[in-house]
């Protein structure tokens, strides 16, 4: 049995450099999940913490996470009733989240890109940063590919 406790705190980056560190930490975590065939499914601000001892960001709340099964969503409407959404759609999903009704690894990367765009678009000034977010939200980059993208490749 594994017991998990939150050791981190919510701490948003205050500069593009800090955001690059956060992005690399979270993409590293997503890469590990995806290599094991797992998905997070709920990437959003509330599920990201910063460990002040380790100086690392991490994804938390794996309530909706699990093995990638290729299971088709029953609803394709993110504006579904709250009852339907609780049973199928998560709050932060939109029409771009699913691929032909299926949540997959590209969906995780898309959700991460949307998070970066929605929360930090004014902070991202570099062309590499803008390209990174565009590739994520365009579902054109896996976690493995993201780790070698110029924007986070050089982050220690």
Tens digits of residue pLDDT in 118-152: 999 999 999 999 999 999 999 999 999 999 999 99
pLDDT, greater one: 68 or 123: 123
pLDDT in the model for residue 13: 93
3 state SS for 3-43:
CCCCCCECCCCCCHHHHHHHHHHHHHHHHHHHHCCEECCCC
**Chain Cα centroid distance, residue 94:** 14
* β-bridge partners, 50: 9, 57
Task: Set out the domains of the chain in order of their start, with CATH numbers.
Answer: 16-147 (1.10.510.10)
Rounded CA separation 70/59 (Å): 22
pLDDT of 16 above 60: yes
- pTM greater than the 0.95 cutoff: no
Rounded CA separation 24/74 (Å): 33
């Amino acid at each position: 049995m594994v017991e998990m406790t939150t050791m981190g705190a919510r701490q948003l980056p205050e500069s593009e450099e800090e955001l690059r560190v956060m992005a690399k930490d979270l993409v590293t975590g997503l890469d590990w999940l995806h290599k094991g065939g797992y998905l997070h499914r709920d990437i959003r601000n509330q599920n990201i913490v910063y460990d002040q001892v380790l100086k690392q960001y991490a994804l938390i709340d794996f309530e909706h996470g699990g093995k990638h099964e290729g299971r088709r969503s029953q609803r394709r409407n993110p504006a579904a009733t709250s009852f339907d959404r609780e049973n199928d759609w998560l709050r932060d999903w939109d029409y771009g989240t699913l691929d032909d009704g299926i949540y997959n690894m590209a969906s995780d990367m898309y959700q991460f890109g949307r998070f970066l765009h929605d929360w930090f678009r004014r902070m991202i000034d570099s062309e590499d940063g803008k390209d990174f977010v565009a590739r994520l939200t365009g579902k054109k980059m896996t976690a493995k590919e993201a780790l070698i993208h110029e924007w986070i490749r050089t982050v220690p």
